[in-house]
A = this chain, B = another copy of it.
């Protein structure tokens, strides 16, 4: 049991992260039971794709909050012995993936704090854009920080306003913070969820045998057997306690800005977010892509698994048969064994291997969800040609990624985004494809079926709904 921590001198350090949150309030909950913790465990299990680096659960037994968190997958972090200590009728959970090289136990969530009014546990998905300013302001007032998370900033703000009732303190804190946030919060006797005024990151509400559940994605509700009720509204606070649920519209914005990348890549296909099923959106994007770019070919294949939905849509629209042309090794874990030079040259084979019989002599359309830096696409194209593909046409189910995300998804720095530096033809040449096709921004919006005013597509069009300092 231990932990290495590295902390930075700067009061802020752009820690863009991908995360998932979950919470449950068992209304007739027995505080000696671990049921809330176990349901949260399985909720996090279903959200594991949102963060594989650390996991944590905090439970409240009405008197105090008990926390366990560690680096690792949900199934590694929680053993029966650990769960046995997490008795209580309220639980929140968090999975986290830090996109920087720096990832520490001290930044794992939930964070638990004691303040004037008692204890509070918080789990946060998103990224604030005014953290530097808030930290400086708080530090001037005497705050100290033990982590580099936005979550600690939010907790300090709530503490600043702690002379007010919790709801009012939350509203005041929400007024101060700018950026993307979907937060689950537990006190000794309440479960709270709140979402930024544009609804950038997802958060939904479900019901499990009469109890309220909060989750980043609906697939977590399904997994624990809960029924989807509705998405938390942008700017809404829901407070669940022994009196049931109360909803407060804390902040109002005319602009909604649901992250379009959730649909393209990040969320699980069986989730429905803000009214749109992810799988349906991906298929629709595949179909739209086929409509926009007619290519003569023998087969459509995908980069598994995230490109498969779009590839099936593409196949259906174009009439070109879908085949499994690339096999994925399902057991890829973290490995630090140095490959040989030969393996390094064809690195992607460790993850993906072409089915030679399927692609040999064929004109292949390779559908991928997105191209970020282009290096992986280059290797896959080369591998397919090496396996005998006559032509490889790359079709991308999202537009060129030209701008970085500041709201909680790691899309790399601008200088690493290939589409920020090259035009389509140059990218095609770089990856060695016979042709390269992106869906258009217009086509993407059409496929998603949400009005473009309700989405954030800044990574594709540079229209940031919230101004970013720096």
Contact residues in B for A340 (Cβ distance below 8 Å): 35, 38-39, 224-225
Contact residues in B for A349 (Cβ distance below 8 Å): 222-223, 225
A74 touches B145 (CB 8 A): no
What is the oligomeric copy number? Answer: 4
B145 touches A160 (CB 8 A): no
Contact residues in B for A353 (Cβ distance below 8 Å): 46, 219, 222-223, 268, 270
B333 touches A38 (CB 8 A): no
Question: Which of A77-85, A239-247, A254-262, A390-398 lies at the interface?
Answer: A77-85
Q: Which 7 A-B pairs have the closest CB atoms?
A: A2-B70, A75-B333, A48-B331, A270-B327, A116-B139, A113-B144, A142-B160
Contact residues in B for A269 (Cβ distance below 8 Å): 324, 327, 355
Choose one: B2, B64, B208, B342; the contact of A8 (CB below 8 Å).
B64
Contact residues in B for A223 (Cβ distance below 8 Å): 329, 343, 349-350, 353
A464 on the interface (CB 8 Å rule)?
A: no
Tally A residues with Cβ within 8 Å of B.
113
Contact residues in B for A222 (Cβ distance below 8 Å): 349, 353
Q: Which of A218-238 contact B (CB under 8 A)?
A: 219, 222-225
A9 touches B331 (CB 8 A): no
A251 on the interface (CB 8 Å rule)?
A: no
- With the chains together, A159 CA to B330 CA distance in Å? 39
Given A80-B338, A349-B222, also A3-B6 (CB < 8 A): no
Given A9-B64, A312-B323, also A2-B105 (CB < 8 A): yes
Choose one: B78, B143, B224, B330; the contact of A305 (CB below 8 Å).
B330
Question: Which of A194-202, A272-280, A413-421 lies at the interface?
Answer: A272-280
For A327, the closest partner residue in chain B by CB is B270
